[in-house]
Amino acid sequence: MITAQKAKELADTSDNNIENYCEMIGVVIEQAAKLGKRSLLLDESFHSSETYKVTKPAFYPADFNDVQRRIKKKLEENGFFVKIIEQKHDGRGGLGCMDEDPQPFSTYHIKVSW
């Protein structure tokens, strides 16, 4: 018997789904290019989608998951550059934490440039 997690993975990585993801990304890239931009961050363009979020396990480098890897390959075939970038933040808290030192942290994003 197949598990629900395995069925979801199979559905997400199907060629049809990858094409749909790339078509949606293509629309966003076209809009950004018309505004004069040369790159965009996928997770900022698709806020509600977990597909474009990069997870970084402790003690390991950030890496693409299977779906992201297939999207990356498809975009690179069309001449785009795709990579994971790290953004560092100083992590200041709210008003109750003003006297404490900032705790730095990083977020990771998939950047598409052309």
Question: Hey, what amino acid is at 29?
Answer: I
Give, for all 114 residues of the chain, the pLDDT tens digit.
Answer: 888 888 877 777 778 888 999 999 999 999 999 999 999 999 988 887 888 999 888 899 999 998 899 999 999 999 999 999 999 887 766 665 666 777 788 899 999 999
Overall size of the chain counted in residues: 114
The answer to whether residues 18 and 71 touch, using CB atoms and an 8 Å cutoff, is yes
Q: Would you say the pTM of this structure is higher than 0.75?
A: yes
Domain locations in the chain as residue ranges: 4-93+102-113
C-alpha 81 chain-centroid distance: 13
